[in-house]
Structure 1
Amino acid sequence: MKPIYKFLSMAMLFVAVTLASCEGEKDLVVIEGNLPIKTETLYMVGDATPAGWNIDAPTAFTPSQEDPLVFSYEGHLNTGELKCPLKTGNWGGVFVMPVNNGCKISKSGIDDTTFSLMPTGNPDNKWKVEDAGTYKLVFDLRNWTVSVTYISE
């Protein structure tokens, strides 16, 4: 008979704890929009970049000291295409890419300041640099925006 009392006591304790934890309503928090892209690295590959299509040694962006989710590159870009992997060595990895393929980068800036995160590199959207020259590119992975400034030829 003692095991039955022990079992019933444990069952009643379980029910009491379970019901006590459900006391009051909990607010459900819905996060709208994109969450920040947390990474320590951002690169670019493509015939528009100094590294070309070398995924094993792509051109690196530099993280900002003020905000580690803001990455910048200042240097020469050729005419051609580019896309931005988060890691090296994997064409099937995570990429930052334009929302629409062929988004133009030129002396006047960039056509669309938003971008997409492609977890497997597909679809294979790329930015298209129309004017060769020295540029400053800034990717804000917290707000999912990119800015482009043409500096010189």
Structure 2
Amino acid sequence: MKAIHILTSLIILSLAFALAACEGEKDLIVIEGNLPIKTSAFYMVGDATPAGWDIGNPTALTPTEEDPLVFVYEGHLNSGEMKCCLKTGDWGAPFVRPVTNGCEISGSGVQETTFIMYAGDPDNKWRVTEAGNYRLTFDLRNWTIAAQLLGK
């Protein structure tokens, strides 16, 4: 009889723990799309940029006052290729790149408006087809790029 009482007590205690554990569970929240790229620094590197391919000293973009995840560059770009990074000195780090290799930046803007970020290959790069003064805007919240030719 004592064994049945102990067994019943253990079953009741187990059920109480099981019910208490369920109360703390939360609904799973699924976030669709890309999360913002949170960084305080954003750089571009490539022969189209003022710093060239110097990963130790790439060209910095400036965050906007309205949104610190929107970075802007206003200045001269050469004809050539470029990609972007979040830190200096590391070719193995993830880079911000166009979806399609050779996506053109020209006087009419940029062919694609979205970008991707990854490390390794394929080594996709933007291709500046027309040298001149540009305003490049990278929105790291929405994963988009805009380009505007300001003059030659």
TM over 0.5: yes
The separation in 1 between residues aligned to 2:14 and 2:122, in whole angstroms, is 51
Q: Percent identity?
A: 65
The separation in 1 between residues aligned to 2:114 and 2:69, in whole angstroms, is 15
What does residue 127 of structure 2 align with?
A: 128
Structure 1 segment 2-151 matched on structure 2, within 5 A? 16-23=16-23, 26-118=26-118, 120-151=119-150
Aligned-residue Cα RMSD (Å) equals 2.4
The separation in 2 between residues aligned to 1:84 and 1:13, in whole angstroms, is 58
TM-score by length of structure 1 reads: 0.87
The verdict on how the C-alpha distance between 1:146 and 1:18 changes in structure 2, with shifts beyond 3 A counting, is same
The verdict on how the C-alpha distance between 1:20 and 1:66 changes in structure 2, with shifts beyond 3 A counting, is same
The separation in 2 between residues aligned to 1:89 and 1:11, in whole angstroms, is 61
The verdict on how the C-alpha distance between 1:11 and 1:69 changes in structure 2, with shifts beyond 3 A counting, is farther
1:94 offset after TM fit, Å? 1.5
**Unpaired segments ≥5 residues, structure 2:** 1-8
The number of residues matched between the two structures is 147
Q: Which amino acid aligns with 1:137?
A: L
Q: Which ranges of 4 or more aligned residues in structure 1 deviate by more than 6 Å?
A: 9-12
The separation in 2 between residues aligned to 1:43 and 1:115, in whole angstroms, is 15
Instruction: State which drifts further: 106-115 or 121-130.
Output: 121-130
1:19 offset after TM fit, Å? 1.9
